[in-house]
Chain A
Amino acid sequence: DAGVTQSPTHLIKTRGQQVTLRCSPKSGHDTVSWYQQALGQGPQFIFQYYEEEERQRGNFPDRFSGHQFPNYSSELNVNALLLGDSALYLCASSPGGGYQPQHFGDGTRLSIL
């Protein structure tokens, strides 16, 4: 049973560009969340998708947007990249709400030059 998979594993972009990161949730999971983790810090919640809609959002600007597809996979888009967007971006999935734990992928390491 495959866990949460993310692609690509590493990405290098320059300031001002845009980027799309992808996530496939664990089998049986329909809720996907995205987190940003700067070096040496804990993950910070960006937003969560359920039934193809954004349900919760953390303290991130509108440059960060997302999408969830009918097969529950998800994309994270970041526009007008800044140096400060360099981080590990983590995707987490869980079954439809309740107390079940989230399961995380190994992330996409995004570097902005």
Chain B
Amino acid sequence: DAKTTQPPSMDCAEGRAANLPCNHSTISGNEYVYWYRQIHSQGPQYIIHGLKNNETNEMASLIITEDRKSSTLILPHATLRDTAVYYCIVRVYNTNAGKSTFGDGTTLTVKP
């Protein structure tokens, strides 16, 4: 699985958009990009995933560059409850795809 690089920490003002970058320059053609977040003492929560097209759901938007070497997770209107560690993962499409390789993630702090 390709490695990912994320900034260790970011701050965001409440109500503003939070843009979390991820570099995955060694991504392969059969690898998807997934984003999770983890709030203290809870398990990672799935947010969104994509292959090469931009994706949007009720939680966030995912923007993947045309060369697929980087992506950005966008929380359109951050709230205090969005304070968490955010993980960007790339994972191979596989009939038994079970392994996700986590880095250290980005600690997002949303401030009032």
Q: Which residues of A contact B (CB under 8 A)?
A: 4, 31-33, 35, 41-45, 48-50, 55-56, 58, 90, 92, 94, 96-99, 101-107
Contact = CB atoms under 8 A, between A and B. Distances in A.
Contact of A94 (B43, B45, B93, B97): B97
A64 to B, nearest CB: 15
> Could you tell me the dominant secondary structure of chain A's interface residues?
strand
A33 B98 contact: yes
A102 B45 CA distance: 9
A59 to B, nearest CB: 11
Interface of B: 32, 34, 36, 41-46, 49, 51, 87, 91, 93-105
A4 B46 contact: no
Given A90-B44, A103-B46, A105-B43, A96 B95 contact: yes
A48 B96 contact: yes
Contacts of A92: 43-44, 98, 100
Which 8 interchain pairs have the tightest Cβ spacing?
Answer: A48-B98, A42-B102, A104-B43, A97-B95, A33-B98, A106-B43, A101-B46, A104-B44
B96 A97 contact: yes
Contact of A55 (B32, B98, B100): B98
A99 B45 CA distance: 16
Nearest to A105: B43
A107 B49 CA distance: 23
A44 B95 CA distance: 21
